[in-house]
Copies of this chain bind each other. A is one copy, B any other.
């Protein structure tokens, strides 16, 4: 009789632990990052008049468009290459802690979306190393999640998710992105 009771208790304990673990799996947003980092980067697009200051350039465009002015149809088909300063806060003139380098391309004809392939090359007292990003960026959303697919140096083998927000947008010459990095695989 005692033994049966114990078994029953054990059964319920198992049941509870199983169900809690499976409900946990569904609430994926509760994963705790092993490292977090917030940085800003600043993109000044070449527009024919700002050669000295520009940090990015249109390098490809669809038929009928040139490489000085972003194409019509929501810039569909424009590819830009960039080398943008990274800062700790939202001030373009703060001392840079690294460079955001790579490309973005506009890939929709009826709204603003981009595809991003780029890296953060960090070189400051706090962080040395690179972080590599890949992902779709639906620009009209307040926040957009892209993948951190790898890293080197202080970010050796790291993986995670970066939430990108447009922190400022001035005409078609300047934009500033805030990047909230959450690493879930640290080494």
Contact = CB atoms under 8 A, between A and B. Distances in A.
A108 to B, nearest CB: 5
Given A62-B58, A83-B113, A101-B107, A149 B121 contact: no
The quantity of this chain's copies bound in the complex is 3
A109 B99 CA distance: 12
Nearest to A63: B67
What is the interface residue range for chain A against chain B?
Answer: 35 or more
Contacts of A150: 134-135, 147-149, 159, 161
A173 to B, nearest CB: 15
A96 to B, nearest CB: 13
A147 to B, nearest CB: 3
A57 to B, nearest CB: 4
A46 to B, nearest CB: 7
A101 B113 contact: yes
B161 A134 contact: no
A139 B150 CA distance: 20
Contacts of A59: 60-62, 77-79, 105
A48 B118 CA distance: 30
Nearest to A119: B136
A145 B136 contact: no
B132 A106 contact: no
Interface in A80-133: 81-83, 99, 101-103, 105-109, 113, 115, 117-119, 121, 129-130, 132
The 5 closest A-B pairs by CB, nearest first: A147-B150, A145-B152, A119-B136, A59-B60, A63-B67
8 contacts: A46-B62, A57-B63, A59-B78, A63-B67, A79-B103, A115-B117, A147-B150, A157-B185
